[in-house]
A and B are shown apart, each in its own frame.
Chain A
Amino acid sequence: MTRPTDLLQGTLDLLILKTLSWGPAHGYAVARWIEQLTGEALHIGEGSLYPALHRLEERGWVESSWQLSSTKRRTKVYKLTVKGRQQLRAEAGAWTQFVDAVYKVLKTEEQPA
C-alpha cells in the first residue's frame, strides 16, 4: 500500500478531531461521518482510523471509555478532551491559512514582479 501517509496522517487527525467535536462517538461512527462528508473525495482505508484514534488518545487529545452500544455490544467510545479541542482550534486555523495561501497562489493570473 503506497499512499501519502504524512499529509494524510495530519489531515486524518484533524478530521477525526473535528468529527469528535460534535460529541462522543465510536470508531465506526467517525468513519461513517467522514465518509458522508467527504464522499469519495478522500479515500482512506477505514482501518487506518484506529491507529490514528489511539495515537490521539496517547497524546491526550481524546479519551475513551467502554460503553454498551444500541445493539448491546461492548463498544469503545471516544470523546474530545479540553486539550483536544485546543488542538483542533490550532490545527484548523493552520489548515485554513495553508489553504488560503495555496488558493491565493492558484487564483493569481499574473507572474509577480
Chain B
Amino acid sequence: MSDRWLRYFELPRRDPRRDVDDEIQFHLEERVADLVRRGLTPEAARARAAREFGDTHLVRDQTLAIDQRMQRRGDRAELLHNLWRDARVGFRSLWKTPTFAITAILCAALGIGVTTAILSATYAVLIRPLPYPNADRLVAVYSENVARGYHGTNISWPDYKSWREGSRTLEALGIWTWITATLSDDATEAERVSGAWVAASLFPALGVRPLIGRGFTEEEETPGRDLVVLLSHRIWERRFGGDSAIVGKRITIDGKRYTVVGVMPPRFNFPDRGDLWMPFATDPATEVHGNRGYAGAIGLLRPGRTIEQARADLHAIDAELVRQFPNDNFGWDAEIKSLREDLVGDFEQPLKVFLVAVGLVMLLVCANLANLMLARATTRGREIAIRSALGASRQRLAAQLLVESVLIAILGGILGIAIAWWGVRLLRFAFPDQSPPFYVTLALDGPALLCAAGLTVVTGILFGTVPALRATRTNLGSTLRDGTRGSGSSTHRSRLRSALVVSEIAISVVLLVGAMLLVRSYRNLAGTSLGFDEQGILSARLTLPSARYTRAQAKLFFDELLTRLRREPGVTMTASAQGIPFSGWNLQAGTTVEGAPPPKRGEDLVVHYQYVTPDYFRAIGVKLVTGRWLTEADHDSLNPVVLVNEQMVIKGFGGRDPIGKRVRVGGDRDPFATVIGVIRDFRHYRLPQPMGPAVYYPYATYPGRQQTIVIRTTRDDPSTLAPALRAAVRAVDPKLALYDVQTFEEAVSKSLWRQRLQGNVLSIFAALALVLACTGLYGVIAYAVAERTRELGVRMALGATRSNVLRLVLGQSGRLVLAGIALGIGAAAVGVHMLDSLLYGVQAIDPATFVAVPLLLALVALAAALVPARRAALVDPIIAMRGE
C-alpha cells in the first residue's frame, strides 16, 4: 500500500533490481575487456572474470537486499517529510484564516462529539452484553392477556410450575418477585433494602454463582426452611464489613432471624439493584391459579433454540392450562422476550431515532465542511494556479489540500472527544436518580474512542477529497488570465455548493420537525392534567415487620405517626395510601357489581383497588364529584363503604349514579361494599397510561403493614420536612427504616425523564442543524456576492438601484431555501413515522409543526442571507469595477 500511496506524491521511481544488475554487468564486462587487452581469449577472459567475481547470484541478492532496505527507509522518511511539510503549511494557512479555521474545526468537533456520544450510548444499551455469563440465552417470561390489553404483567406460580415442567425449549426457568425488607440489628441503624424472592434455579440460569457460600436449594422453597438469605457484595461490604465468616451467621430481617448462606459476586445485580435475595417459598395462597402476583420468571434457552420456539412451546402449555382451569386461565398466555429486550426495550426506539438524527447531523457537518472548503478553494484559486504554474504537481496540490482538511478533522476530533465526554455525562445524568441502571454502562471507553477516531478520518477524507480534486482541476490559464475573481469558470463550483446548501436546509427541516414533535409530545405529557395537586407534598414508604405488628397494631402505629406529623409546623394534612400516583404500585382484581348480569368470559370488570386513610384524597387534592368523603368512623369491615372514581362509574355502573349501590372486589368470599361517593379520576399510573376504574377502601377496614405516608405542607420545599418525618418514625419505633422519601413533584417529573430526554436530545440536534445550515447558507451567499462584486458594480453603474441588488441577492438565497424546505418537508413526511410510537397527543403529520418549521427556517435563513445581501447593496460601483 505504501507504494501506491507514495506514487500519489512522487515521481516515477528507480528500480533497484535493474541498477544492481547493471552494476554487476558493468564490472564483469570491464574485467573481460581488460583481460582481453592483456592477451587472453574472450572465453578464457570471461571464465577468469567470473571466477574472480565469485557467486554473482549471491552478490546480487545481498546487494539488492541492502538497496531495498535503504529504499524503504528513504521512502518512509520522505513520506514523513512531506506530511510534516504539508501539515506545517496547512497549519500556517489555517492560522492566517482564523475565521475559516475556527468555523470548520467547531463544525467538525460538534459533529464528531454528538455522534460519538450517541454511538457510545447505543453501544452501551443495545450491543454491550448484559452482565450475566449466559446473557445471550436468557429470556424474561411474563403473562399477557391480549383480549384485555395486558402485557408484561405478573405471573402466577401454578402457571410457572406448568411451564417449567412442560417446556422442552428451556433448560432452566426460575420465578422471582420484588421484595423490600428491613435489616435491623441492635448495633446499626435499621435500613430498608430491596431485592427479590428467587427460585433456586434462577441464579444458576443466569450463570452466576455466589462469591462465597452457596446458592439456594429446592428444599428451601418450602415455608419453614426458607429462612435463608443471599447478600449482595455491596451490602456485605458496607453493612457487614466484608466479614469473611458471614456464611452461617444469622441476621435480622423484618424482625425474623435469617441464616446467611452466601454472598454474591461484586457488580452482580438482580432484578435491578438488589441487595438481598431469599428463596421463593410457596404457601396455599401462592398455589391459587388466578393469583398473578409474582413479578416474572427468567429462563435459559437450550442451546440452539430460539425465542419463537420457546414461545410456541409455552403457548401450547397455556392452551392446556385454559382447558383445565378456564376460570383462572382464559385469555392468559406466557409473554416471552429476550432479557435484553425486557431490560432495554424502552430505549430501543428512542436510540434508533437518535442514531438517525445524529447521522443527519453528521451529514450536515460534512456538507458544511465541504462547502467551507469549496468556498476557500475559490478564494485560493489563484494561489493554486500559481503554485501549479510553478511546477507543483496536481497530486502534490491535492495532497496539500487533503492534509489541510484532515488537520481540521483531527483538531475537530480532539475537541469532539471533549464534547462527547461531556455529552455522555449529560446522558448519564438524564437517567432517573442521576445514574443509569446497572445493565447500561455509559462511558466514553474503547469502542467510543475508536469510533471518534474513525469519524475523524472519514470526515477529513469525505469533505476533503471532493474540494481537493475540484480545486486542483482548475484550468491554469483561465484562472490566471481572468485576473478578477469569478466569471464563467466558477459556476460549476457554485452549483455544487448550492446543492450542498439545499441538502443542508432539507436535513435541518427533517430534524426540526422531529424535534418539534418530540418536544410537543413531552409538553403534552407534562401538561397533562393529573387530577391531583403535586405541589407541596412529601411522601415516604414504611413497612412494618409482621413479626412485631399485627394489623391492629399497624393501625395504631400509623395513627400515631400521622398524628405526630400533623403537629409539625407547616403541615396541613397527613394521610396514607398503599400506593401513591406514579409509584408503579398497582393491585387489580376482578369486580362484580351487585345486580349486574354476569360478564361474558374475558370481558369481566377488573379494577384497581387500595386501602387509604380518610384524608388521602383531600391531601393530594382530588375533588369529590358526588356523595361524601370517607371518615374515621368508616371501619366496618363486614359491610364496608367505598369511594369509586369516574371511570368506575362508566365501566361498572353504565354511567348511572352509583351512590348506595354495592360492589364486590375479589372473589365470592369477599364482602360487598357500598359506594358512598365518587371522586374525580386522577392519574395514578405513569403517563401516558390512562386511568382505569378504581375502588378505594377505608384503611381501617383492613389495615396493612406497608403504607405510603403523604404529608401536605405549606412549606415551599416539602423535602425540608424529611428530617422531622424521620424523627417522628424513630420516636414511635426506632427499628423501622423509611424509604422512597420524595416529593410528589419529583415522582411526577422523574416518571417523564425519557420523554424529556428525547425532546431535549432532538432539540439540541435540531438547533445544531439550524446553526450549521445557516452558516452554510451565509457562506454560500457571501461568497457569491464576493464573486459577483464586479458584476454588481456594473449593474449599479448601469442604473440598478440598491434595492434591485438586494432583491437580486435575496432572491438567489430564497430559491435555495425554498428548494431545501420543499425537499425537507417531503423527506420529513416520510421519515416522521419512525417517531409514531414516541408521540403523545400529537399526530406524526402535525399540521402546526409542518407549517411552523418551514416558516422558522425561512426566517432564520433569510436573516443569514441578509448580511451579505446588504453588503452587496452597499457596493460602491467605482471601487467594485476598478478593484479586483
Name A residues whose Cβ lies closer than 8 Å to a Cβ of B: 1, 26-28, 31-32, 45-48, 50-51, 54-55, 57-58, 66, 69, 73-76
Contacts and interface: CB of A to CB of B under 8 A. Distances in A.
Nearest to A55: B66
B638 interface: no
B56 interface: yes
A26 B22 CA distance: 12
A89 B626 CA distance: 116
Interface string B9-47: 000000000011011101101110010000000000000
Interface in B51-102: 52-56, 58-59, 62-63, 66-67, 69-70
Q: A-B pairs with the 7 shortest C-beta distances? A: A45-B54, A47-B59, A47-B54, A51-B62, A54-B66, A47-B53, A28-B30
A47 B56 contact: yes
Contacts of B54: 1, 45-48
B31 A28 contact: yes
B460 to A, nearest CB: 36
Given A28-B31, A45-B53, A47-B58, A54 B67 contact: yes
A54 B63 contact: yes
Nearest to A75: B26
Contacts of B69: 58
B55 A1 contact: yes
A58 B30 CA distance: 26
A45 B52 contact: yes
Contacts of B24: 47, 50
A76 B70 CA distance: 16
A51 B26 contact: no
Contacts of B30: 28
Among B26, B27, B54: residue with most chain A CB under 10 A: B27
B92 to A, nearest CB: 31
B53 A57 contact: no
Contact of B23 (A27, A32, A48): A27
Nearest to B34: A32
Contacts of B20: 50
Nearest to B51: A45
A98 to B, nearest CB: 27
Contact of B22 (A46, A48, A57, A74): A74
B27 A46 contact: yes
A45 B56 CA distance: 10
Contacts of B22: 74, 76
Interface string B399-410: 000000000000
B55 A73 contact: no
A1 B70 CA distance: 27
A26 B53 contact: no
Contacts of A46: 27, 31, 52-54
Contacts of A74: 22, 26
Contacts of B26: 26-28, 69, 73-76
A55 B63 CA distance: 8
Contacts of A28: 26-27, 30-31
A66 B20 CA distance: 12
Nearest to B64: A54
A36 to B, nearest CB: 12
A18 B63 CA distance: 21
Report whether over half of chain B's contact residues are helix, strand or loop; otherwise say mixed: helix
Contacts of A48: 54, 59
B57 to A, nearest CB: 10
Contacts, number: 63
Contacts of B34: 32
Contacts of B19: 66, 76
B21 to A, nearest CB: 11
Nearest to A53: B63
A99 to B, nearest CB: 27
A98 B56 CA distance: 33
A74 B19 CA distance: 10
Contacts of B52: 45-46
Given A45-B54, A54-B67, 4 more contacts: A28-B27, A50-B24, A57-B66, A73-B26
A91 B686 CA distance: 90
A51 B27 contact: no
Contacts of A47: 24, 53-56, 58-59
Contacts of A54: 63, 66-67, 70
Interface string B258-283: 00000000000000000000000000
B67 to A, nearest CB: 6
Contacts of B55: 1, 45, 47
B59 to A, nearest CB: 4
Nearest to B52: A46
5 contacts: A27-B23, A45-B54, A51-B59, A54-B66, A75-B23
Nearest to B58: A47
B70 A51 contact: no
Contact of A50 (B29, B31, B59, B70): B59
Contacts of A51: 59, 62-63, 66
Nearest to B27: A28
A32 B63 CA distance: 20
A66 B53 CA distance: 22
Contacts of B59: 47-48, 50-51
Interface in B332-378: none
Contacts of B29: 73
Nearest to B22: A74
A26 B24 CA distance: 11
Contacts of A76: 19, 22-23, 26
A7 B502 CA distance: 76
B27 A27 contact: yes
Contacts of A50: 20, 23-24, 27, 59, 62-63
Contacts of B56: 47
A71 to B, nearest CB: 8
A74 B56 CA distance: 19
A32 B53 CA distance: 12
A31 B27 contact: yes
A51 B63 CA distance: 5
Nearest to B49: A46
Contacts of B27: 27-28, 31, 46, 50
A54 B66 CA distance: 7
A76 to B, nearest CB: 5
Given A46-B27, A47-B53, A47-B56, A57 B70 contact: yes
A29 to B, nearest CB: 9
A48 B53 CA distance: 8
A75 B23 CA distance: 7
Contacts of A55: 66
A45 B54 CA distance: 5
A50 B21 CA distance: 11
A7 B52 CA distance: 20
Contacts of A57: 66, 70
Contacts of A26: 26
B81 to A, nearest CB: 17
Contacts of B66: 51, 54-55, 57-58
A3 B31 CA distance: 24
B282 to A, nearest CB: 84
Contacts of A31: 27
A4 B590 CA distance: 104
A80 B30 CA distance: 23
A35 B605 CA distance: 116
A74 B24 CA distance: 12
A51 B54 CA distance: 13
A58 B34 CA distance: 30
A54 B62 CA distance: 9
B331 to A, nearest CB: 86
A32 B35 CA distance: 12
A67 to B, nearest CB: 11
Contacts of B63: 50-51, 54
B115 to A, nearest CB: 47
